[in-house]
């Protein structure tokens, strides 16, 4: 069995029209609307915006489950995922460069089922903000923030859905007149009905997950707002690859706890957050005469505070991180050392920042900010840095809005592993002896225009360039753990990179038929400080071209939706040759990431049939079809055994996911 086949196996289970008006009135525009209700999607400037999570059911869902992160992937700023890729790549950045958070508290490992679902139950939240810049946060890329509900309901209310894959529900319960309890939960039963679909190379997988949320909202008076928020979830998977006598399993978890206190002093707003968040994995693999396990985790504890006053914003961000990088334990006749690779790492980072925004007149608004950061590594080495930010927005009368943004950002956490896809098998590393902290210089130019008789059409576009420093890419394999003395440092490629491209989207934002067509071009390149890797290589997740066509049609009791994707394949390293050594397949690999997977094409469709639908209640059925074209999209390449003549071939692999239908009942009261 080749290293690619082993890796693929383990993946499966871890797997604006504007006249003489104020700029502030034009920064926020609806771009996809429903009839007389809050829009599904609002732009906050450029191609960043806010999602109304109550309305994402209108677009096709996967197996009847509406999901916020799957919706974000419909936008041009985020790359299309394959069936084996749980990453969230925003404008050429790594998955770990995106800040995924609940009310700005980081969430690590935010995916279930190889990225098909996020850990975010949409009915538990008020909305979701997405931005191509994480601003003064400790990330190099963009941000996706789940916003907690901030209204006390006047009665007990809730929403649940039951499908062929899972059950999920939310209850909003008033506790007196000044507080409320929001409870959410989700439990899967995938193998009960979909066991025949969960296969790799005709071998079955078993998988299940659950997650739960508890939020207490208290508004003691008009000047104070307090949330206590708790989240937890767990996934379990197993795969018995009988063709090569390989047995694999994995279990991973997420947990988060936070307290948020917002206090309003007239014109001053003070926001404070105290939190703890964690993610961990325990995976194992066994082949004839050898076995190994790979425990890892990350835990972060922090305090954040921001204060705003008439255009000014100041803040402080403190965090303590504790991480166990992939720490393999192996035994068998191939590996007699059975030594752990790394010990637990811990580090501390602190950041202060201040910014000011001002409308200057003449259709111009300027924003400027400066931050300073300090990081203490596991080796107790100090690193300092500054993070200047600047943005200028110009309103062109009857010609839209033009914005220019630049800045420097810094990050001390790395995520890497066998897949580079954001799946749980990946692990986190703190900057220190393995690499200095990451930093990036970002530039972006964006344009917005509403047009049409009633501004029913909108155009959004952004071009960007990022210079990335101190990047890591993992080059190790599972076989190294089983067959030799393992070293994380020897498995890391170090270097710099750059990403550049353009995102364009045109939307129809009113009427029964709404939706958008988007196109993205992007390059994401890396240069490594390793003589074995000379030159420049595409990153593992690079897609050169992406076309997305999204549409919804509302005719009262029915909502129809469709999503079409067509994009170029991602890079991979193709072997030049392979041969047998004992009971193992040894591959000699060619140039790094010189080959590409075939084009990825997919169509998803859905329909909602409402038995009852009004402002307070709704219920009905959701029917959806994933991959309605029945196309077998390749998710990778691997060495396959021809059992007739016992020969090996290097062939594309897929999940065999064809015409995957689902039916779900939903009810809101």
> pLDDT at residue 28 above 50?
no
Neighbouring residues of 415: CB distance < 8 A, sequence distance ≥ 6 = 94, 95, 96, 422, 426, 427, 428, 429
Percent of residues, the chain, with pLDDT higher than 90? 44
% the chain with pLDDT above 70: 80
pLDDT at 584: 60
Structure tokens at 120: 């975010």
Lowest mean pLDDT among 239-253, 393-407, 487-501, 604-618: 239-253
Alpha-carbon distances of 285 from 342, 638, 655, rounded to whole Å = 19, 18, 20
Rounded-to-integer distance, Cα 484 and Cα 611, Å: 62
pLDDT tens-digit map of 608-638: 999 998 878 889 999 988 889 988 888 777 6
d(CA 174, CA 154): 7
What are the backbone dihedrals phi and psi of residue 247, each rounded to the nearest 5 degrees, phi first? -125, 130
* pLDDT single digits (tens) 279-312: 998 877 776 666 777 788 999 999 999 999 989 9
Given the DSSP bridges, would you call strands 166-174 and 179-188 parallel, antiparallel or unpaired? Answer: antiparallel
Confidence band for 64, pLDDT divided at 50, 70 and 90: low
pLDDT for the residue 9 = 38
pLDDT, residue 336, reads 47
Q: Work out the average pLDDT over 47-69.
A: 76
Specify whether the backbone of 287 is left (phi greater than 0), alpha (psi in -120 to 50) or beta.
Answer: beta
Q: Is the pTM of this model over 0.95?
A: no
Question: What average pLDDT does this structure show over 430-436?
Answer: 92
416 pLDDT higher than 50: yes
Report whether pLDDT(344) > 70.
Answer: yes
- Please give the pLDDT value at position 3: 36
Of 651 and 384, which is predicted with more confidence?
Answer: 384
Give the rounded distance of the alpha carbon of 23 from its chain centre.
Answer: 31
**Residue 352, helix vs strand vs coil:** strand
What domains are there in the chain, each with its CATH number?
Answer: 3-668 (2.40.170.20)
Provide the pLDDT for residue 466: 96
Reply yes or no on whether the pLDDT at 198 is more than 80: no
Distances 541 to 376, 548, 565, 594 between C-alpha atoms, Å: 31, 18, 16, 13
- Position 419 scores a pLDDT of 57
Cβ contact 253:297 at 8 Å: no
The mean pLDDT of 155-178, rounded to a whole number, is 91
Q: State the burial class of residue 39 (Cβ atoms within 10 Å of its Cβ: 0-12, 13-18, 19+).
A: buried
* Helix then strand then coil, % of the chain, to nearest 5: 10, 60, 35
Between 45 and 197, whose confidence is greater?
45
pLDDT tens per residue across span 492-512: 889 999 999 999 999 888 888
Q: Around 377, how many Cα atoms within 13 Å sit in the side-chain half-sphere? A: 18
Token pair listed for 110? 């935010």
Q: What is the pLDDT of residue 462?
A: 95
Distance between terminal CA atoms of the chain? 53
- 529-541 residues labelled b (16+ CB within 10 A) or e (exposed): eeeebeeebbbbb
pLDDT at 522: 95
DSSP H or E segment with residue 392: strand 389-396
Range picked from 123-137, 308-322, 487-501, 637-651 for highest mean pLDDT = 308-322
Most confident of 78-87, 278-287, 478-487, 539-548: 539-548
Cα 371-373-377 angle, rounded to 5 deg = 165
Rounded Cα–Cα distance for residues 412 and 530 (Å): 22
CB 237 within 8 A of CB 14: yes
| pLDDT of 577 higher than 80 | no
Query: Strand, helix or coil at 68?
Result: helix
Mean pLDDT of the chain: 82
Quote the CA–CA distance of 569 and 472 in Å, as a whole number: 22
């Amino acid at each position: 069995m080749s290293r690619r086949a082993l890796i693929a196996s383990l993946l499966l289970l871890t797997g604006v029209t504007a006249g003489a008006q104020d700029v502030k009135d034009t920064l926020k525009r609806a771009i996809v609307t429903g009839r007389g209700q809050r829009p599904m999607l609002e732009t906050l400037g450029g191609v960043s915006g806010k999602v109304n999570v109550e309305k994402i059911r209108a677009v096709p869902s996967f197996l009847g489950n509406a999901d916020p992160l799957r919706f974000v992937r419909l936008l041009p700023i985020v790359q299309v995922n394959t069936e084996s890729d749980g990453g969230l790549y925003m404008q050429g950045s790594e998955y770990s460069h995106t800040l995924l958070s609940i009310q700005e508290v980081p969430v690590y490992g935010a995916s279930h089922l190889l990225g098909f679902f996020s850990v975010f139950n949409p009915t538990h939240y008020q909305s979701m903000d997405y931005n191509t810049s994480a601003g003064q946060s400790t990330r190099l890329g963009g941000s996706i923030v789940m916003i907690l509900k901030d209204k006390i309901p006047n009665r007990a209310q809730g929403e649940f859905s039951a499908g062929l894959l899972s059950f999920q529900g939310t209850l909003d319960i008033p506790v007196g007149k000044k507080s409320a309890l929001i409870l959410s939960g989700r439990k899967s039963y995938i193998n009960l009905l979909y066991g025949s679909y969960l296969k790799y190379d005709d071998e079955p997988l078993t998988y299940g997950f659950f997650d739960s949320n508890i939020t207490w909202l208290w508004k003691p008076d008009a000047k104070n707002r307090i949330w206590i928020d708790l989240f937890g979830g767990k996934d379990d998977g197993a795969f018995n690859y009988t063709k090569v006598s390989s047995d694999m399993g994995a279990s991973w978890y997420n947990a988060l706890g936070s307290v948020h206190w917002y206090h309003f002093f007239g014109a001053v707003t003070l926001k404070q957050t105290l939190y703890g968040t964690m993610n961990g994995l325990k995976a194992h693999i066994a082949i004839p005469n050898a076995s190994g396990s790979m425990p890892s985790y990350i835990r972060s504890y922090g305090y954040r505070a921001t204060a705003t006053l008439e255009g000014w914003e100041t803040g402080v961000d403190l965090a303590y991180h504790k991480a166990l990088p992939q720490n393999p334990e192996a035994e068998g006749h191939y590996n007699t050392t059975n030594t752990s690779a790394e010990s637990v790492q811990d580090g501390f980072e602190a950041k202060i920042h201040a910014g000011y925004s001002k409308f200057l007149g003449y259709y111009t608004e300027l924003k400027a900010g400066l931050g300073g950061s300090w990081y203490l590594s596991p080796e107790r080495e100090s690193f300092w840095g500054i993070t200047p930010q600047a943005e200028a927005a110009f309103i062109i009368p009857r010609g839209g809005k033009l914005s220019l943004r630049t800045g420097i950002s810094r990050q001390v956490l790395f995520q890497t592993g066998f897949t580079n896809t954001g799946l749980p098998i990946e692990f986190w590393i703190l900057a220190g002896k393995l690499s200095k902290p990451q930093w990036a210089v970002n530039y972006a130019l964006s344009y917005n225009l509403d047009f049409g008789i009633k501004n029913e059409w909108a155009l959004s576009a952004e071009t960007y360039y990022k210079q990335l420093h101190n990047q890591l890419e993992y080059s190790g394999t599972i076989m190294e753990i089983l067959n030799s003395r393992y070293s994380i440092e020897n498995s890391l490629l170090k270097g710099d990179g750059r990403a550049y491209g353009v995102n364009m989207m045109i939307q129809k934002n009113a009427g029964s038929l709404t939706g958008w067509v988007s196109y993205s071009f992007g390059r994401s390149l890396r240069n490594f400080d390793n003589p074995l890797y000379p030159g420049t290589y595409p990153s593992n997740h690079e897609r050169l071209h992406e076309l997305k066509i999204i549409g919804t049609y509302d005719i009262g009791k029915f909502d129809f939706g469709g999503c079409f994707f067509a994009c170029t394949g991602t890079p991979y390293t193709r072997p030049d040759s392979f041969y047998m050594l004992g009971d193992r397949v040894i591959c000699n690999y060619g140039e790094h990431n010189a080959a590409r997977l075939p084009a990825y094409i997919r169509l998803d469709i859905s329909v909602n049939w409402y038995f009852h639908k009004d402002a307070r209640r709704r219920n009905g059925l959701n029917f959806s079809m994933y991959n309605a074209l029945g196309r077998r999209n390749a998710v990778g390449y691997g060495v396959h055994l021809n059992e007739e003549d016992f020969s090996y071939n290097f062939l594309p692999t897929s999940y065999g996911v064809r015409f995957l239908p689902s039916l779900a009942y939903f009810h809101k009261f």
